[in-house]
Amino acid sequence: MLFQRLLLISFFRCIFLYTANWTVEYIRGNPDGYYRVITTINNQSTPGPTIEVYENEIVDIHLHNKLSTETVSVHWHGMHQTQKTGWMDGVPYVTMYPVAPGEVFHYQFQARQIGTHWYHSHAGVQYPDGVFGAIIVKDKNDLYTNKIKTDYTVILNDWYHHDAIELGAELADNVHPDYFPEYVSGLMNGKGRYNCSTQEIQSLICVPNHEYQLYNVELNQIYRFRIISAASGHTFNFSIDNHDLTIIAMDGIYVEPFVVQRLKLYVAQRYDILVTMNQPIANYWIRATIFDSQVIKGILHYANAPDSVDPTSQPSEPKTVLINSMQLSPTVHIQYNESDPFEQWVLNFTCRNDSYKCEINGVQFGLPNKPTLLSMYEKDEKHKAQTHIIEVPTNTNVRLILNNLGSMSHPFHIHGHDFYVLGIGDAYFDHPHPFDNDTKKLRFNNPPKRDTEQINEYSWMVLQFYSNNPGSWFFHCHIDWHLEAGLALVINYKDGSSIEKPPNDYPIKTNYKQADAAAQQRKVNVIILLPVVIIILQLCLA
Ligand SMILES: [Cu+2]
């Protein structure tokens, strides 16, 4: 039913399908020089394929799990699934059962949120092993297309030489003060250079002087860089030596242009920037700095600059740094009134010092036996009660007051929505400073809007979203290790009566074989309907 409905939507909008078969499997690779096992999509190292579509196009992916011992599920980060496609959100035990080894699931949804987004596995701590990639949803009315020479994607991640399951086990045994593994290496578009001489290893295991990601540019041209953090733990300070960065969008939302020399990119955030190539012809470092000695690098290569030569450029002291979204203003203006009605939840949370455990309002998030969306659809109260859920009314301003009682900062992400960031408290280093309900500290005039924002240590953040997308949506810290320790909850709509029935191949815990049968049926549907699609497209293009 879902397939036919989406196809009908596409008919009426004269739009196309983006279709692909993805196979998730293990390979051996050395993206930073050091060989290890990587979890990949379609055998092509990491990141996975880029999904590039125009606004409102359908994304249609058959995900085959060829991992012998792990389940898989892919979340489309930034896609809100507003066409009642909440079943496609890809969160194990929230929106679906994960895809078992040897099985397949058919994801299908309309890409309605323009801009720079990404996808990643939401199963366990799987995405740090390589299962992620970019989603670019092109705006048909893009203001910048005519100004820029080329669009480039910069996807950044922290990278380890042990797999995430092992790292997670080490963390649980011996909790690191930040609750995530210490930095080892990093990648820009899947490329990095590990210093092989720091380890007593042979060249068979580590290939030195591995190549950097190169961006070819021409003097006096303007380029758009779509920067994505696919990190699992670390914050990046992004800069390009000698060049200004003009921020034009965050998490797919256009903002008034804002010029910086450095921007802080928290886990899972995205920024679009414009860069004018107005410096002497040369090679320049592109940097995602964690600490002084921990820098993920790429190269900005001006045409006619020497080839295959590492830049000699140095970072300079920035005049302006983007610390968080409160410095930015969306171009589509919104004015809240302080007197507008809203419903409020206060979420006090911390990660403990004595065990690998994070709690919100005293509850460590744990997975239920059954997806919460399925429980909602089936009006199953028993399974719903197995995990941490807050229930919100439909068509209401929902305000979340986050109070961070701990000494770590956290990037919080909401599924199914963007939130308005009404306020972010300063970082403190001694004891918690929860929100004091002083609304003068909040911004009601054109607050920033996005899907992931960082709360400072021992501080507060106030978020607000409008509940117009009934479903069951995950809300969590995007540091994958904090999520694994339980820093999450599920936002359920109180009224789930408008939830459509699950797709026919919805993974059923006890009978995964149904998935293949349903996938076969979809193929038959496509064969029958393809001639109709072609005729309609011809009419559209005529
Ligand atoms: Cu966190």
Query: Would you kindly state where each structural domain of the chain is located, as residue ranges?
Result: 342-493
For 50, list phi and psi in degrees, rounded to 5: -85, 130
Cα of 410 to ligand 1 centre, how many Å?
A: 4
Q: Cβ distance 120 to 77 under 8 Å?
A: yes
Q: What is the rounded radius of gyration, in angstroms, for the C-alpha atoms of the chain?
A: 23
Cα of 266 to ligand 1 centre, how many Å?
A: 11
What's domain 342-493's superfamily in CATH?
Cupredoxins -  blue copper proteins (2.60.40.420)
For 382, list phi and psi in degrees, rounded to 5: -65, -50
Residue 477: which of 404, 529, 427, 527 has the closest Cα? 404
Cα separation values, 26 from 12, 42, 100, 336, Å: 41, 10, 15, 49
In the three-class reduction of DSSP (H, G, I as helix; E, B as strand; rest coil), residue 71 is classed as: coil
Cα of 402 to ligand 1 centre, how many Å?
A: 12
Give, in degrees to the nearest 5, the angle at Cα 137 between 133 and 142. 140
Cα of 376 to ligand 1 centre, how many Å?
A: 27
What lies within 8 Å, CB to CB, of 114 at 6+ separation is 55, 137, 138, 139, 252
Cα of 479 to ligand 1 centre, how many Å?
A: 5
Cα of 279 to ligand 1 centre, how many Å?
A: 39
**How far apart are the C-alpha atoms of 34 and 418, rounded to whole Å?**
38
Cα of 267 to ligand 1 centre, how many Å?
A: 9
Instruction: State the 10-residue block means of pLDDT for the chain, 542 residues long.
Output: 52 66 97 96 95 96 94 97 95 95 94 98 96 97 95 98 92 83 96 85 78 97 98 98 98 98 98 98 98 93 94 96 98 90 97 90 95 94 89 97 97 98 96 96 97 98 97 98 96 93 77 44 48 52 47
Cα of 427 to ligand 1 centre, how many Å?
A: 15
Cα of 352 to ligand 1 centre, how many Å?
A: 12
Q: Cβ distance 170 to 141 under 8 Å?
A: no
Neighbours of ion ligand 1 (CB under 5 A): 410, 477, 479, 482
Cα of 399 to ligand 1 centre, how many Å?
A: 20
Please tell me the chain's helix, strand, coil percentages from 3-state DSSP, rounded to the nearest 5: 15, 40, 45
**How far apart are the C-alpha atoms of 88 and 74, rounded to whole Å?**
9
Cα of 481 to ligand 1 centre, how many Å?
A: 8
- Residue 176 is predicted with a pLDDT of 77
Cα of 478 to ligand 1 centre, how many Å?
A: 6
Cα of 483 to ligand 1 centre, how many Å?
A: 7
Cα of 358 to ligand 1 centre, how many Å?
A: 9
Cα of 139 to ligand 1 centre, how many Å?
A: 32
Cα of 229 to ligand 1 centre, how many Å?
A: 15
Q: What is the 3-state secondary structure (H, E, C) of 492-516?
A: EECCCCCCCCCCCCCCCCCCCHHHH
Cα of 454 to ligand 1 centre, how many Å?
A: 9
Residue 469: which of 122, 112, 134 has the closest Cα? 112
Cα of 240 to ligand 1 centre, how many Å?
A: 28
- Residue 515 is predicted with a pLDDT of 43
- Residue 505 is predicted with a pLDDT of 80
What DSSP designation does 92 have? B
Cα of 249 to ligand 1 centre, how many Å?
A: 24
Instruction: Write out the two tokens for 124.
Output: 């366990």
Instruction: Write out the two tokens for 163.
Output: 């797999």
Q: How far apart are the first and last CA of the chain?
A: 29
What DSSP designation does 222 have? E
